[in-house]
Amino acid sequence: GRDLHPAAPSVRRLAREMGVELNSVQGTGIAGRISEEDVRRAAGTPSVT
């Protein structure tokens, strides 16, 4: 399979800033794309509760 995370550059940067491993994030978008919200949820601080 694809060895890169299906996440936009800004989402990958956000994950680094929040200390989130993209490996551990389940993308909820089309083709398993990881959104900003997916990263925030994985960090335990979703912006919408």
Partner 1 sequence: MANIDYDVIVIGAGPGGYHAAIRAAQLGLKTAIVEREKVGGVCLNVGCIPTKAMLHAAEVRAEAKHASEFGLNLNEASLDIAKLNGWKDGIVKRLTGGVSGLLKGNKVTLLSGEASFVDDHTVEVGGQKHTASHFIIATGSEPAKLPGVAVDQEVIVDSTGALVMPDPVPARMLCIGGGVIGFEFAQVYNNLGSEVKIIEFMPNVIPGADADAVKEFTKIMKKQGISIETQTKANKAERKSDGVHVEIENVQDGEKRTEVFDRVLVAIGRRPRTDGLNADKAGVQISERGFIPADKQQRTNVPHIFSIGDVAGNPMLAHKAMKEGLVAAEVIAGKPAEQDAVAIPGVVYTNPELAWVGLTEAEAIEKGHKVKKGVFPMAASGRAMTLQQTDGFIKMVVEEDTDLVLGVHIVGPRASDLLGEAGLALEMAATASDIALTIHAHPTLGEGVLEAAEAVHKQAIHIMNK
Residues that bind partner 1 (CB under 8 A): 1-4, 6-9, 12-13, 16-17, 30-33
Amino acid at 42: A
Q: Which is nearer to partner 1, 17 or 46 (CB)?
A: 17
Least distance in angstroms from the C-beta of 49 to partner 1: 26
For 27, the token pair is 């993308």
Q: Which is nearer to partner 1, 12 or 41 (CB)?
A: 12
- Rounded Cα distance, 16 and 30, in Å: 22
Q: Which is nearer to partner 1, 9 or 44 (CB)?
A: 9
- Rounded Cα distance, 24 and 11, in Å: 14
Bridge partners (DSSP) listed for residue 34: 7
